[in-house]
Structure 1
């Protein structure tokens, strides 16, 4: 009986093994589910790369009364595994720095060696993070005029919905009827900082420049809008627990029940 049972087990194992081999050797179907492939969310791979320009310096004479000046450009974009994201930043850089991309030659100008005559314009794109369908990039720009005491810089956060294949604006993520409530909540949560800078609720606005931080939605304001130049770019955070019913559900991270204590 023992010998018979061992023989039966060996026979069953042989059948299973043969079946697996045959299955592996069968040609796979070439058809794919269109819905699945369309909704696949890519895992972002990104690298900052220099931009090839028609000219990295543009010189011109504004008016006959003014001396000539030049602008030197240094631009960097992003190379990802998502072509439409690359195209977005390429078109944006091209639009904001038209002269540097224009292949047409410019007339020669003579610079006055006694006067500051070179402006510097830089821009760069950096990949920040990805959370499921949300991918965040940082677009940094800086302009330093010739002879100025300091330049003007700005950081614009670009949040893409990888499912919808579009950049998200504030109107895309906020529940329409809750925009004023969101503004009041943001002001209240940051009231001490704002009041120290003599900013009242009636003068306060939501910024369309935002990103999803580790513990809340962060609103970004340019230099001088809320604070002095020395304080730089201002960021006001509102914890995710305070955003319930104000942000569309698909853009609000799932939170534990004790989120209010965690994120305060």
Structure 2
């Protein structure tokens, strides 16, 4: 199976690396900027870089994966020209499969890897869940087989469930990472190293994987420790945006405790 990659950002970069490592040929990589496409194409001597939207005139692939920002999909999709009989899928957690209906030839699908990707950090693709969806049984089977070449957890998932999963992922990943960034900023103001909190964060995540998180919640909000909460809010007076976030999270924790 040969896979063409459309995009040159974080997701596209890891897809190319993952496919090549799995022995899957990547004949073509597209980016609006030819230099960005060429950077990825340099990973394999048989990969061609392109800034053309006409894939009918480029090395053939069996599957084309569109790994571009969600907001770019509606504008880009109608401009593509793909060969007949291919499967074209996007990698978005939120965009519906139907956004690819503008493609007049071939089958459409979704190939959504549930992971955070940064070019600077390698990932173990065997541990990355991949959600697939196809406009036909044949397209779905093709995407399933492709995913199984990379991952030990590949599931067929319709759009509504995939969007719920993506929402949950934002809370679990993006918001958690942001809170860790805030914690580091608070430490920096006191000239304290982040290493002091690393064991705490590691244990928190280990425990959250073993037990229902709301049931093992700790801290001043959970205890109703008003004096500590007020002291923390006072320390955040010079960071009003974080002070408001502290209040919101405190209220959420206390509401969850009452529900439990």
TM-score range, shorter chain: under 0.3
Scaled by the length of structure 1, the TM-score of the pair is: 0.25
Structure showing the higher helix proportion among its residues: 2
